């Protein structure tokens, strides 16, 4: 008999998630029925989207999230023991599946790459950066691309993909260590939004001519400042609003419609699930860029399933550089 | 010798434009040089854009705007006496031109249509409605289209074009007389935003399923309410922000980025000047729809050049149904 460990939600988050909002439970799993398989978690992913989407969960529910898991027992010939899959199974060390919704790791997965990348540069964040930048911002060679939360899982890839496409890339991040990281992975300019005396000045200094593309993971006051620096016909991917996820009352700011109007901006929301049927295409390109050394990945690994809430809380605070991963 | 009358700006507008902000002046025009022509105004246009773009003018400058004018004297064989042109010559009864920037009325102009339509349904507002709706919102048959300032020059055309394309059309306007007008020209639903107890309720009642397309002439709180009623993958044309044009300090509201993100909306700013090289194509279609009786036009005509400020101020207050025109 297998006992799974899982993290459940004691109460809905109010403001920033706190350790006491999470409860570690043991759950005995029943024997497998025909067609079922048992999977064991190897890596789990903590991502910003978990915060807003947790509103849709009930108290006592397992915390939502994805993981890379290995088949350890199977009564389904399509999923033999030893196979690795990405699964949206929540925060659990073990779970039973009928195979639906399991995504096999790309078949050309190189031996020298950690499978955790299937949760990062070659997974959801990678595909997000790829389509969010290339299909909405559509940056042209020589254009200026701005990304915030630039040292995060998505932002660090957005900047590198924009460089591959021949753009000038500006990133914003919240520590000097992160700025160093951004320069290492090829960003042209980077500034610390926490210590800048004025966001407007920092944006102007980094690109006096303004910005053609803005990949927005943050929203709020950062976007207010950026809208003033956008060039006419600029494109904005709204991919996240992490500055607002903990706010109970929606924060207010100047209406952005006049900027959209008079600069003829295009602003579009991006959720990666919409691109599900084009995942493989993006993953193939991302793997190739990594193999060619054009795309560097960085992971911030927290060890121990029992440390998942700490990893999640730390990620929301911006403690990670690159993709935040929990290693069981 | 010809004496032109013209309206100049005494001071930059503060809040709503007031009669004392305008000054009527006489100006002697010099004799024509070779290559020049003298034009006389027949109809002048007062449009919302004049309010924000006046910020770029200096005190003492002529008020900006367009008109339909007739060539009354010519030393330029390309522009014979008697020809009619749309000109961005400002608020003047007469002006001298070298022919640059003059747009001839469409060559297939029907005898039974007033030339003032070149400032309305077949002019800038018509082209605005045509491309703003069809190229940004891209409504599909059976979808629900919302337009505000719906009884205005642009809004009344947006709704009718959406009906031609097989959509359900909802309009918002500021008087019961306007609602009657909207029903007459084929809107499926119309509500009075001034008397509605709740914009959210009015929007829900008019289309319980929500909105696929939103053609926004107004901005502000109307847009706040509408964003909550947009369907996933909705499209928004930001064509105007008349609710804010008189505000010295930019008004604030809840950030709209979370709606854009989680509903995956596309929001794009539209300025008709960008479509200059495709004007003729739109004008041809608009004229054809008018000839076929599919597109109805309505004009709100103020007589007398001396009444231009009153016509402009009234239009900004929403006193007009259809296109606000000044007849000299």
A83: helix, strand or coil: coil
Q: Same CATH topology for B2-120+298-327 and B124-273?
A: no
For position A212, what pLDDT does the model report? 98
Please judge whether A238 and B223 are an interchain contact, meaning their C-beta atoms are less than 8 angstroms apart. no
Is residue A107's pLDDT more than 90?
no
At residue B108, the pLDDT reads 79
Q: Which of B244, B267, B268 sits opposite A255 (nearest CB)?
A: B244
Q: Do B267 and A260 touch (CB under 8 A)?
A: yes
Report the 3 state secondary structure along chain B.
Answer: CEEEEEEEECCCCCCCCCHHHEEEEEEEECCCCCCCEEEEEEEEECCCCHHHHHHHCCCCCECCCCEEEEEEEECCCCCCCCCEEEECCCCECEEEECCCCCEECCCCCCCCCCHHHHHCCCCHHHHHHHHHHHHHHCCCCCCEEEECCCCECCHHHHHHHHHHCCCEEEEEECCHHHHHHHHHCCCCEEEECCCCCCHHHHHHHHCCCCEEEEEECCCHHHHHHHHHHEEEEEEEEECCCCCCCCCCCCCEEECCHHHHHHCCCEEEECCHHHHHHHHHHHHHHHHHHHHCCCCCCCEEEEECHHHHHHHHHHHHHCCCCEEEEEEC
Residue A250: pLDDT band with limits 50, 70, 90: confident
Q: How far apart are CA A143 and CA B168, in angstroms?
A: 40
Burial of A194 from C-beta contacts in 10 A (0-12 / 13-18 / 19+): exposed
Q: Does A325 score more than 90 pLDDT?
A: yes
pLDDT for position A248:
85
8 Å CB contact of A261 and B271 = yes
CA–CA distance, A288 with A292 (Å, rounded to integer)? 6
Q: A286 pLDDT exceeds 90?
A: yes
Contacts for B174 with CB less than 8 Å, ≥ 6 apart: B151, B192, B193, B194, B318
What local confidence, expressed as pLDDT, does residue A66 receive? Answer: 97
| A52: contact with B, CB 8 A cutoff | yes
CB contact under 8 A, A216 and B266: no
CATH class entry, domain B124-273 = alpha beta
Place of tokens 């043991």: A26
Distance CA A328, CA B112 (A): 80
pLDDT over threshold 90, residue A108 = no
Q: Which two tokens stand for residue A200?
A: 């407007």
SS3 state of residue A113: coil
CA A182 – CA A322 distance, rounded (Å): 10
Under DSSP, the state recorded for A152 is B
Is the Cβ pair B240, A261 closer than 8 Å?
yes
With an 8 Å Cβ cutoff, is A80 touching chain B?
no
Question: Whole-number mean pLDDT of chain A?
Answer: 96
Q: Using CA atoms, how far apart are residues B237 and A84, in angstroms rounded to an integer?
A: 45
To probe the interface with A, which of B56, B260, B272 has the most A CB atoms within 10 Å? B260
Give the HSE-up count for residue A58: Cα atoms under 13 Å, Cβ half-sphere: 2
Q: Which of B219, B259, B265 lies nearest to residue A257, judging by beta carbons?
A: B219
Residues A160, A158: Cα–Cα separation, whole Å: 6
B99 touches B85 (CB < 8 A):
no
Mutate which: B250, B257, B271, vs A, most A CBs within 10 A: B257
Q: In chain A, where are the structural domains located?
A: 2-120+298-327, 124-273
The residue among B115, B257, B118, B200 whose CA lies nearest residue A214 is B257
Residue A201: count of CB within 10 angstroms of its CB:
12
Tens-digit pLDDT profile for residues A51-68: 999 999 999 999 999 999
**A149 touches B at CB < 8 Å:** no
The pLDDT value given to residue B249? 87
Residues A144-165 have a mean pLDDT of: 98
CA angle (B201, B202, B203) in 5-degree steps:
90
Tell me the C-alpha distance between B167 and B209, whole Å.
14
Contact partners, residue A200, CB within 8 Å, separation at least 6: A225, A228, A229
- Superfamily holding B2-120+298-327: Medium-chain alcohol dehydrogenases, catalytic domain (3.90.180.10)
What is the average per-residue pLDDT within B139-143?
98
pLDDT at A249 over 90: no
pLDDT above 90 covers what percent of chain B?
A: 95
ipTM field? 0.94
For B253, the closest of A239, A255, A265 (CB atoms) is: A255
CB contact under 8 A, A268 and B263: no
Strand ranges for chain A from DSSP E: 2-9, 22-29, 37-45, 67-74, 84-87, 94-97, 103-104, 144-147, 168-173, 189-192, 211-216, 230-238, 252-254, 266-269, 299-303, 323-327
Spatial separation of the C-alpha atoms in residues B57 and B11, rounded to whole Å: 10
**Mean local confidence (pLDDT), B302-310:** 97
Read off the pLDDT of residues B29-48 as tens digits, 9 standing for 90 and up: 999 999 999 999 999 999 99
Say how many Å lie between the first and final Cα of chain A, rounded: 20
CA distance A186 to A192: 16
- Greatest distance between any 2 Cα atoms in chain A: 65
Q: Is B274 part of the contact surface with chain A (CB cutoff 8 Å)?
A: yes
- What whole-number distance in Å separates Cα of residue A182 and Cα of residue B219? 38
Pick among B222, B253, B269 to test the A interface (most A CBs inside 10 A): B269
Burial class (CB in 10 A: 0-12, 13-18, 19+), A137: buried
d(CA B116, CA B322): 12
Chain B interface, mutation test: which of A261, A262, A273, most B Cβ atoms within 10 Å?
A261
**φ and ψ at B210, to 5 degrees?**
100, -165
Q: Which of A241, A254, A259 sits opposite B252 (nearest CB)?
A: A254
Mean pLDDT of the B91-95 span: 98
Give B228-263 pLDDT, tens digit per residue: 999 999 999 999 999 998 888 889 999 999 999 999
Q: How many CB pairs under 8 A join A and B?
A: 110
* Confidence check: pLDDT of B18 > 90: yes
Q: Which has the closest alpha carbon to A287: A121, A105, A116, A82?
A: A121
**Phi/psi of residue B43, nearest 5 degrees:** -130, 140
Residue among A244, A250, A269 whose CB faces B265 most closely = A269
> In this predicted structure, what is the pLDDT of residue B248?
85
Nearby residues of A100 by Cβ (< 8 Å), 6 or more positions away: none
The stretch B296-303 carries a mean pLDDT of 97
Asked if B98 and B35 touch (Cβ cutoff 8 Å), the reply is yes
Q: Can you name the residues that pair with B325 across neighbouring β-strands? A: B45, B301
d(CA A210, CA A203): 8
User: Cβ contacts (< 8 Å) between B266 and chain A: which residues?
Assistant: 266-269
């Amino acid at each position: 008999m297998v006992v799974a460990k899982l993290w459940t939600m004691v109460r809905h988050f109010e403001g920033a998630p706190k350790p006491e909002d999470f409860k570690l439970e043991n759950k005995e799993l029943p024997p497998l029925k025909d067609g079922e398989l048992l999977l064991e978690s190897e890596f789990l992913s903590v991502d910003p989207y978990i915060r807003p989407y947790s509103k849709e969960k009930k108290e006592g529910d397992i915390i939502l999230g994805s993981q890379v898991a290995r088949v350890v027992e199977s009564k389904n010939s399509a999923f033999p023991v030893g196979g690795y899959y990405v699964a949206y199974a929540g925060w659990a060390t073990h779970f039973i599946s009928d195979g639906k919704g399991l995504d096999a790791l790309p078949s050309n997965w190189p031996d020298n790459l950690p499978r955790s990348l299937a949760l990062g540069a070659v997974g959801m964040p990678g595909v997000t950066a790829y389509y969010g930048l290339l299909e909405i911002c559509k940056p042209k060679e020589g254009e200026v691309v701005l990304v915030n939360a630039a040292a995060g899982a998505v932002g660090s890839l957005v900047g590198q993909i924009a460089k591959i496409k021949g753009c000038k890339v500006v990133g914003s991040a919240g520590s000097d260590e992160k700025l160093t990281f951004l320069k290492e992975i090829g960003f042209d300019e980077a500034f610390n939004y926490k210590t800048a005396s004025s966001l407007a000045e920092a944006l102007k200094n980094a690109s006096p001519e303004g910005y053609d593309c803005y990949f927005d993971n943050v929203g709020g006051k950062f976007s207010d400042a950026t809208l003033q620096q956008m060039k006419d016909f600029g494109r904005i991917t709204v991919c996240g609003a992490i500055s607002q996820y903990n706010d109970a009352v929606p924060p207010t700011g100047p209406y952005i419609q006049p900027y959209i109007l008079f600069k003829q901006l295009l602003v579009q929301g991006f959720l990666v699930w919409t691109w599900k049927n084009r995942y493989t295409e993006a993953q193939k390109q991302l793997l190739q860029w990594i193999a060619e050394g054009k795309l560097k990945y960085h992971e911030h690994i927290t060890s121990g399933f029992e440390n998942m809430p700490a990893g999640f809380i730390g990620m929301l605070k911006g403690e990670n550089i690159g993709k935040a991963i929990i290693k069981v």
